[in-house]
Chain A
Amino acid sequence: MTASHRFRILVAKPGLDGHDRGAKIVARALRDAGMEVIYTGIRQTPESIVSAALQEDVHAIGLSILSGAHNQLFLRIMELLKKEGLKDRLLVFAGGIIPKEDTPELTKMGIAVVFGPGTPTKVIVEYLKQALKEKFQEG
């Protein structure tokens, strides 16, 4: 993969919470790791996130939420991605304050991985590099 053909990541904040310290740190760490990052800003609807993903032609979407509305909002996002035919064409990962017991349900929806509080950014970077390589270069 050449520099002009970098992985493109959409970092998105669905829901109404304004806590984007984590989302911005992850966005910056991915950018520092050589990926192209688009950050949506806070308070995005599922519709606006999916439409941004479509327009920006991204390889992955990172969803960050701290308000507890993840189950409903992530489900809606995954449904819309499916409708647009994007669900299997890109990777969705998530982070924020998400109880561990919710992970199986989110995985079933198609969210590849949920990163909890305290996850080092390099763990996220390494995961994405590996997962995106597998999905887009070896598949």
Chain B
Amino acid sequence: MLNIKKLDEIKKRKKEWENNTLNPLLEKYPERLTEFVTTSSSQVNRLYTPLNLGGSDYLTDIGFPGEFPYTRGVQPTMYRGRLWTMRQYAGYGTAEETNNRFKLLLEQGQTGLSVAFDLPTQIGYDSDHPLALGEVGKVGVAIDTLKDMETLFDGIPLDKVSTSMTINAPASVLLTMYIAVAEKQGISQNKLAGTIQNDILKEYSARGTYIFPPRPSMRLITDVFEYCSKWNQMPRWNTISISGYHMREAGCTAIQEVAFTLANAIAYVEAALKKGIELDTFARRLSFFWCAHNDFFEEIAKFRAARRLWARIMKERFNAKNPRSWQMRFHTQTAGQSLTAQQPENNIVRVAIQALTAACGGTQSLHTNSMDEALALPSEKAAQIALKTQQIIAHESGVALTIDPLAGSYYVETMTDEIERRAMEYIEKIDEIGGAVVAVERGFIQKEIHESAYRYQKEIEYKKRIIVGVNEFIIGEQPDIEILRVDPEVEKVQLARLVRIKKERDNLKVQETLKQIEKISNSDENLMPAIVDAVKAYATLGEICDVLRDVFGEYIAPDVF
């Protein structure tokens, strides 16, 4: 970036600084640690200077916002044009309760919805399934049929909000329910904006809500791409949210998060191409989801590196022509795993720091965790503080005033380069294995994540890492904070509703639509239209998934620890 003469001068002066200024001091006062490492265990130098950036070129590696390689952001104006979407993940109990929480969040200035479904819903079981015992309405809202979905969005005009749904294995079922609710509100599906997570590969490697084996799951995912993007039924819908978040939460490093996520993304692109969907028709609707962890500069560098690496992969590896296919748009959530049950109020500060990294890293939307999440689901008060944290960052901190404020920092730019380089090395390794699907089937990614998680835990236990309130600065008995408890009656209410629906609906019609799903799932045709019909006939989520289970089989995880 600078001319050679200038760099030589800096090199010389740096040597002099080390000899004359630094070393005499170090002899008297050694540094407090022998080794300085980031949250992801990357080595950090004492000082970064223009010498670290010797090999990088501003125009090709950093460039301008809204232009390739998008290091500085995907939009030309970023937050000067529009702030990120404040999108708090919420859901518990029955559809009525969650509907109330949504309305409260919207009243308080939240700008997008994000639905948390309970585990039976996420795994395609109805609330009356034996495996649903104790889980109904616990970590999210219980959805059995379209009826529940109608209640969930009652009074919320779906053409006025964008909605994100964390649903993976049965994603197409929930997406079609959303379409059906909109239709009942008189809104056509091409007006709907939002995101469906629909990212199965990270379910196998980290999150665990898979149903079917990888290959039929990939087919379901690309059916959604085809329906929304190729058939242009939902041009404003993000057909997938390719997620590093859960792998990071399961313990991988920032570099691995970028690498494994982009390796998964490559697998989805290849699957869609194989299905015959033209690259530039679906690539623009791929979205991403990252974790924002504690290490301020490392996280900012991670966001920038991921954006640049994806742009390069799409342009150079896949030959995408439309600039929108090169752009990585992403959601971010602060790191739940970093929150402590000890001194939970401290978590407000952790969340604020993490959220700042996402804002400095150019996220399109953000969820800030609540301080009580190491103890329970967020209480109303805790959820409110979490949202206010975003508002303070957006309106008071000044980080939204200019674009990519940390560009040009010797440290951040060096780390951006390093994360990109090391993530690429991992991606090449996964390519050699045969791609992300094979890597998951062989347990490679699972093992890598577990190794990192175990090392991190050991570092905490040997106090190589300090976690305030956990292994240092501990205070004794702590006052209890109020936590949210899901009413155990929820399960009964939900079961009664399910019984009623099954009685009231046209059961012949339901059987017919389920047969159609069975037929199509045995062919290569797109399953979406058949699922739309079943959902509208009030077939349950479990009934639809059971048909698919019969045809596709179920995934059995290899045990790795």
Residues on A facing B (Cβ under 8 Å): 15-21, 24-25, 27-29, 39, 41-43, 45, 67-73, 76, 97, 99-101, 116-118, 120-122
Residues of B within 8 A of A68 (CB): 134, 138-139, 376-377, 486
Contact-residue size bin, chain B (C-beta under 8 Å from the other chain): 35 or more
CB of A25 within 8 A of CB of B119, answer no
Q: How far is B139's CA from A15's CA once the two chains are assembled, in angstroms?
A: 12
CB of B208 within 8 A of CB of A17, answer yes
In the assembled complex, the CB of A128 is this many whole angstroms from the nearest CB of chain B, namely 16
Interface bits B105-121 vs A (CB < 8 Å: 1, else 0): 00000000000000110
CB of B480 within 8 A of CB of A24, answer no
Residues of B within 8 A of A15 (CB): 119, 134-135
Residues of B within 8 A of A76 (CB): 133
Known contacts A19-B208, A28-B454, A99-B375; A39 and B135 CB within 8 A of each other: no
Known contacts A69-B135, A99-B483; A27 and B376 CB within 8 A of each other: no
Is residue B164 within 8 Å, beta carbon to beta carbon, of the partner chain? no
CB of B454 within 8 A of CB of A120, answer no
Is residue B547 within 8 Å, beta carbon to beta carbon, of the partner chain? no
In the assembled complex, the CB of B82 is this many whole angstroms from the nearest CB of chain A, namely 34
Q: Which of B120, B138, B208 contacts A18 (CB 8 A)?
A: B208
Is residue B58 within 8 Å, beta carbon to beta carbon, of the partner chain? no
B373's nearest neighbour on chain A, judged by CB, is A97
Known contacts A16-B135, A117-B374, A118-B342; A25 and B453 CB within 8 A of each other: yes
CB of A39 within 8 A of CB of B251, answer no
Residues of A within 8 A of B438 (CB): none
Known contacts A117-B340, A117-B341; A97 and B374 CB within 8 A of each other: yes
Kindly list 9 other residue pairs between chains A and B, CB separation below 8 angstroms, not including A68-B138, A69-B135: A18-B209, A19-B208, A28-B450, A39-B559, A67-B139, A68-B134, A70-B134, A97-B374, A121-B461
Interface bits B215-255 vs A (CB < 8 Å: 1, else 0): 00000000000000000000000000000000001110000
CB of B133 within 8 A of CB of A27, answer no
Top-4 shortest CB links A-B: A18-B208, A69-B134, A72-B134, A16-B119
Interface bits B315-337 vs A (CB < 8 Å: 1, else 0): 00000000000000000000001
CB of B203 within 8 A of CB of A18, answer yes
Known contacts A16-B123, A21-B250, A100-B480; A69 and B138 CB within 8 A of each other: yes
Is residue B470 within 8 Å, beta carbon to beta carbon, of the partner chain? yes
CB of A18 within 8 A of CB of B461, answer no
Is residue B471 within 8 Å, beta carbon to beta carbon, of the partner chain? yes
Q: How far is B458's CA from A122's CA once the two chains are assembled, in angstroms?
A: 10
Is residue B433 within 8 Å, beta carbon to beta carbon, of the partner chain? no
CB of B461 within 8 A of CB of A122, answer yes
Q: How far is B446's CA from A39's CA once the two chains are assembled, in angstroms?
A: 15
Known contacts A18-B203, A100-B480; A43 and B376 CB within 8 A of each other: no
CB of B342 within 8 A of CB of A97, answer no
CB of A21 within 8 A of CB of B249, answer yes
Residues of B within 8 A of A19 (CB): 208, 249-250
8 A/B residue pairs, CB under 8 Å, sorted by A: A15-B119, A16-B120, A19-B249, A68-B376, A69-B135, A117-B374, A118-B341, A118-B342
Known contacts A39-B559, A43-B208, A71-B134; A17 and B119 CB within 8 A of each other: yes
Most buried by B among A21, A67, A100: A21
Is residue B130 within 8 Å, beta carbon to beta carbon, of the partner chain? yes
Q: How far is B119's CA from A15's CA once the two chains are assembled, in angstroms?
A: 9
CB of A67 within 8 A of CB of B454, answer no
Residues of A within 8 A of B496 (CB): none
Residues on B facing A (Cβ under 8 Å): 119-120, 122-123, 125, 130-135, 138-139, 203, 206-209, 249-251, 337, 340-342, 374-377, 450, 453-454, 457, 460-461, 467, 470-471, 480, 483, 485-486, 557, 559-561
Residues of A within 8 A of B125 (CB): 16
Residues of B within 8 A of A73 (CB): 133-134
Q: How far is B137's CA from A67's CA once the two chains are assembled, in angstroms?
A: 10
In the assembled complex, the CB of B203 is this many whole angstroms from the nearest CB of chain A, namely 7
Residues of A within 8 A of B374 (CB): 97, 117-118
Residues of A within 8 A of B557 (CB): 41-42
Residues of A within 8 A of B461 (CB): 120-122
In the assembled complex, the CB of A11 is this many whole angstroms from the nearest CB of chain B, namely 8
CB of A17 within 8 A of CB of B561, answer no
Q: How far is B138's CA from A29's CA once the two chains are assembled, in angstroms?
A: 30
B246's nearest neighbour on chain A, judged by CB, is A18
CB of B203 within 8 A of CB of A21, answer no
Residues of B within 8 A of A42 (CB): 208, 557
In the assembled complex, the CB of B369 is this many whole angstroms from the nearest CB of chain A, namely 13
CB of A118 within 8 A of CB of B470, answer yes
Q: How far is B250's CA from A137's CA once the two chains are assembled, in angstroms?
A: 37
In the assembled complex, the CB of B227 is this many whole angstroms from the nearest CB of chain A, namely 27
In the assembled complex, the CB of B214 is this many whole angstroms from the nearest CB of chain A, namely 16
Known contacts A41-B559, A121-B461; A69 and B208 CB within 8 A of each other: no
Q: How far is B209's CA from A17's CA once the two chains are assembled, in angstroms?
A: 8
CB of B471 within 8 A of CB of A120, answer yes
Residues of A within 8 A of B377 (CB): 68
Known contacts A15-B134, A72-B133, A117-B340; A67 and B450 CB within 8 A of each other: no
Residues of B within 8 A of A67 (CB): 119, 134-135, 138-139
In the assembled complex, the CB of A126 is this many whole angstroms from the nearest CB of chain B, namely 12
Q: How far is B133's CA from A39's CA once the two chains are assembled, in angstroms?
A: 22
B132's nearest neighbour on chain A, judged by CB, is A16
